[in-house]
Structure 1
Amino acid sequence: MASITTTRTDPSRLAFGSIAVDPPVVLAPMAGITTSAYRRVCRQYGAGLYVSEMITSRALVERTPLTMEMLKFHPDESPRSVQLYATDPAIVTEAVRILIDEDRADHIDLNMGCPVPKVTKKGGGAALPWRRELFRRIIRGAVEAAGGRVPVTVKMRKGIDAEHLTYLEAGTIAQEEGITAVALHGRTAAQMYGDHADWDAIAALVRELDVPVLGNGDIWEADDAIRMVEQTGCAGVVVGRGCLGRPYLFADLANAFAGSTERVRPSLSQVAHTMRQHAGWMADDLGEQRASRDFRKHVAWYLKGFRVGSDLRQRLGLIADLADLDRQLDLVLDQHGDQAYPEEILGLPRGRGTGLRKVSLPEGWLADRDSSAVPFGAEIGISGG
């Protein structure tokens, strides 16, 4: 990665409109992960901006029950940041108006980077910027609907694959249409979450634009965020998989951007306390049975690297309720003691990695870059990804 000698934007002064993002850290929207409960768990470790799960514009306009439930923010959550998925300029315009007129959001982010096949095969997510005129109309519709009342940002990837890159042109279009900031994940849709993120692409976008550019990809530790800012000149960072099971990473990030070398390394008992807190807040929002089921996927992330027997891991992955969670965590501590944080896992990737794959696209999608037609069936009616 080439080193950049000057930083164009002072990360200590990042703001989206009137919203100061200090430290310059954003929690990436992650389907099924960045619920209100998890956002609150992360927020208590440090400031920054914590974005909701993806809300589909169509589902918001149709006011589906799941979507309206996902749009609920706890009173402790401020500012309220919502990510919108959009493929139709008219529908995103109406969705933004609803969010603002009904005082449901203080910041709106547009999802133009989702690489999931069920999204790209309909022309949405990371596939959409290829249709540059449609991309422009969606950005314009959202920004005009916001009318300066809340900031609108966009998150995207480098492009569809190495032969179909879009990020420089899409970033320029977004800036021309009045977007507040652009976040770039330094991978293509074809890469999904494999290989290494291309920080040089982030640096190139920083040089191309005047609005703040945030970098995303391969931030596993706080020092990675500092390196990204130094090497690319980006105005801030977006953290996704690096915080899975590690909400305290936001404390490390706050310390790092403040110039402190202090880092949080919780013991097993402290991790167990956070797990109980997280599951309890989920139960408050979702009800105990549903929360217990949804929490199971977090168990392996929280316990990564700790010496915990496979039998107990399996039991924790099948918890029936909060009392069961308490029993299993008590057994973990009784049988394995209060272990120190496993330093050997620092810097290792979290979440599922993937190899290079062919991106699913609508038939003829690559043939006409200037078509502004809304792809058939791309307006997904279910929020969350």
Structure 2
Amino acid sequence: MKIGNVEIENSLALGPMAGVTDLPFRLLCKEQGCGILYSEMVSAKAILYKNKNTDVLLNIDEREHPVGIQLFGSDPDIMAEIGSRVAEGNCDFIDINMGCPVPKIVNNHEGSYLLTQPKLVEEILTKMVKAINKPVTVKTRKGFKDGESQAVEIAKIAESCGVAAVAVHGRTREQYYGGKADWDIIKAVKEAVKIPVIGNGDIFSPQDAKAMKEYTGCDGLMVGRAARGNPWIFKEINEYLKTGIVPEKPSAEEVKNMILKHASMLIEYKGEYTAVREMRKHIAWYTQGLPHSAELRRRCNEIVSWESLKEVIESRL
């Protein structure tokens, strides 16, 4: 698969997730066999107005390629200007968020709200593709409201504007992350456009990944929530697609080592105070389903230092 002029050897993608897919987590997923990475979504307006909180979101490591920066916004000129500026960095492509369902984003006429505005989408994409010297991609949803479906229309507009690839989450904005993802819409988008289509929604296992690929014919597979606390899922999917064998789940020892590695990388990246507090949610995801995990999570909510984190994890796992 190719995204514009970018060769994609492994079309397994880590879905962009705010507060989750920061640089350390992306690197862990890359080590486990993830082929395409995306930054957390970044506001084009926040970059324009030099909000210092955006700097950390734009950091790219040499080990990440191919990797895209995901921008969100609804002003065509700002999106084009900021997209062009960001593309001067060392990312491989610029992705546009047209799927975020969060009320504060939607109420600001951004994210999945754009599904209801095809003319505005066309203007944004036309200006961005013209201004940006790297491939432009789009991440979208099935539709805005339940019973609606705008994904095919948006994908066709994207292709006609010169967008290089489209990722489709098979849920409406109204569904958020509940209910079942509609793989038929991913299949419909794949049949409607010639650019690469990346399928997203309800890939929780290697078997799910194979089933989506076979059912929809999509070019790439995007894993989102199932990767939280489980970077191994990429290794498992790759192995299953190649051999048909489902690998064993990581042992408690492997989980422990991954948590400690993740924590140390996060501390190096964000400092001890912020990192140990952010690790609380990651530890909850890593340990879900393990024996005594409820007590472990309770203890982890009290950790305030690397030493206390290490002590809790090493004594409980």
- Which TM-score tier does this pair reach, normalised by the shorter chain? over 0.9
Residue 103 (structure 2) aligned to one of 92, 104, 117: 117
Aligned to 1:199: 183
Is residue 186–residue 202 contact of structure 1 (8 Å, CA) maintained in 2? yes
Aligned to 2:72: 85
Q: Give, in whole Å, the separation in 2 of the partners of 1:310 and 1:301.
A: 11
Letter in 2 for 1:112: M
Aligned to 2:298: 314
Give the drift of 1:29.
Answer: 0.4
Is residue 127–residue 159 contact of structure 1 (8 Å, CA) maintained in 2? no
Give the drift of 1:314.
Answer: 0.7
Aligned to 1:298: 282
Is residue 71–residue 104 contact of structure 1 (8 Å, CA) maintained in 2? no
Give the drift of 1:209.
Answer: 0.9
Aligned to 2:166: 182
Is residue 84–residue 109 contact of structure 1 (8 Å, CA) maintained in 2? yes
Question: 3-state SS of the aligned residue for 1:283?
Answer: helix
Q: Give, in whole Å, the separation in 2 of the partners of 1:76 and 1:211.
A: 26
Q: Give, in whole Å, the separation in 2 of the partners of 1:311 and 1:223.
A: 31
Matched, 1:108 2:108: no
Q: How does 1:243-258 map to 2 (within 5 A)?
A: 243-258=227-242
Query: What TM-score do the two structures reach when normalised by structure 2?
Result: 0.96
Aligned to 2:29: 42
Give the gaps of 5 or more residues in structure 2.
none
Matched, 1:63 2:63: no
Q: How does 1:1-385 map to 2 (within 5 A)?
A: 14-101=1-88, 103-146=89-132, 149-308=133-292, 310-333=294-317
Q: Give, in whole Å, the separation in 2 of the partners of 1:77 and 1:158.
A: 29
Is residue 171–residue 182 contact of structure 1 (8 Å, CA) maintained in 2? yes
Give the drift of 1:206.
Answer: 1.0
Is residue 249–residue 264 contact of structure 1 (8 Å, CA) maintained in 2? no
Letter in 2 for 1:187: R
Is residue 139–residue 179 contact of structure 1 (8 Å, CA) maintained in 2? yes
Q: Deviations for 1:139-189, whole angstroms, at most 9, x for unmatched residues?
A: 11111111xx32111000011113442111111100100011111100000
Give the drift of 1:309.
Answer: 5.3
Letter in 2 for 1:82: I
Whose helix fraction is larger, Structure 1's or Structure 2's?
Answer: 2
Percentage of matched positions with identical amino acids: 36
Residue range with higher mean Cα deviation, 160-169 or 24-33? 160-169
Q: Give, in whole Å, the separation in 2 of the partners of 1:225 and 1:154.
A: 21
Aligned to 1:382: none
Q: Give, in whole Å, the separation in 2 of the partners of 1:297 and 1:30.
A: 14
Q: Give, in whole Å, the separation in 1 of the partners of 2:191 and 2:164.
A: 16
Is residue 85–residue 111 contact of structure 1 (8 Å, CA) maintained in 2? yes
Q: CA RMSD in A?
A: 1.4
Give the drift of 1:310.
Answer: 3.5
Q: Give, in whole Å, the separation in 2 of the partners of 1:246 and 1:197.
A: 20
Letter in 2 for 1:153: T
Letter in 1 for 2:227: C
Is residue 23–residue 257 contact of structure 1 (8 Å, CA) maintained in 2? no
Q: Deviations for 1:353-382, whole angstroms, at most 9, x for unmatched residues?
A: xxxxxxxxxxxxxxxxxxxxxxxxxxxxxx
Q: Deviations for 1:191-249, whole angstroms, at most 9, x for unmatched residues?
A: 00111000011111111111111110000011211110100111111110111100010
Is residue 22–residue 47 contact of structure 1 (8 Å, CA) maintained in 2? no
Q: Give, in whole Å, the separation in 2 of the partners of 1:46 and 1:283.
A: 23
Give the gaps of 5 or more residues in structure 1.
1-13, 334-385
Is residue 146–residue 175 contact of structure 2 (8 Å, CA) maintained in 1? no
Question: 3-state SS of the aligned residue for 2:85?
Answer: helix
